[in-house]
Amino acid sequence: MSNPILYFDFASPNAYFVHRVLPGIESRTGARFGYVPVLLGGLFKLTGNQAPMFAFAHIPAKLAYEHREIVRFIERHGLTKFVMNPHFPVNTLLPMRGAVAAAGQGVLPAYVEAVFAAMWEQGVDCSDPAALAKVLAAAGLDAEALLEATRDEAVKAKLMANTQAAADHGAFGIPTFVVGAELYFGKDKLGEVERAIAEH
């Protein structure tokens, strides 16, 4: 079986949560997740979906429950470094193009770790090129080369293609996992994702 896939966008705190939990699944199963950068806003447009804060704006109890689920997940997994980004919602077009560039330059894991930590542990506005450059440099990455690559038409096209491929796969939000032929959405499906990997 091919490696499981994680479609991700730094805009989603739930994507950060699963990023922190996946190493445990990898260590238990021996699987290695392939991180595929997509643009959440683009995925919403392709599928007619909306962020929960808009989709459920008229259902306060639903939003309160979503918040409680986040608190429970944080407590269950000991994610004590999490902070809600004060700039949320963040336009992640720049850092997601950067992720595509990082994949092309063979440094995607380090890039992903640096940006997720900046977004959801340090409260950085990673839509700001100067702020993103500082984050990447602090992680030992070539910030200048990565930011320059975000202007490359091939990088822009690849992010669009990834997003279309995710939609074609049946994804409508982030985080989305693919294990074998099966698609799973959301942090609450991590148990099923792990079982599916083990069964294969």
* Predicted local distance difference test score (pLDDT) of residue 19: 98
Output the pTM of the full model: 0.94
The 10s digit of each residue's pLDDT in 60-118 is: 898 888 889 999 999 999 999 999 999 999 999 999 999 999 999 999 999 999 999 99
- Does 57 or 100 have the greater pLDDT score? 100
* Predicted local distance difference test score (pLDDT) of residue 56: 67
Strands 176-179 and 34-37: unpaired
Order of strands, sheet of 5-8, starting from the edge strand that comes earlier in the sequence:
34-37, 5-8, 176-179, 182-185
For residues 147 and 133, the answer to whether their CB atoms sit within 8 Å is: yes
Domains of the chain: 5-199 (3.40.30.10)
* Predicted local distance difference test score (pLDDT) of residue 1: 56
What whole-number distance in Å separates Cα of residue 11 and Cα of residue 120?
9
CA distances from 92 to 33, 67, 185 (A): 22, 22, 20
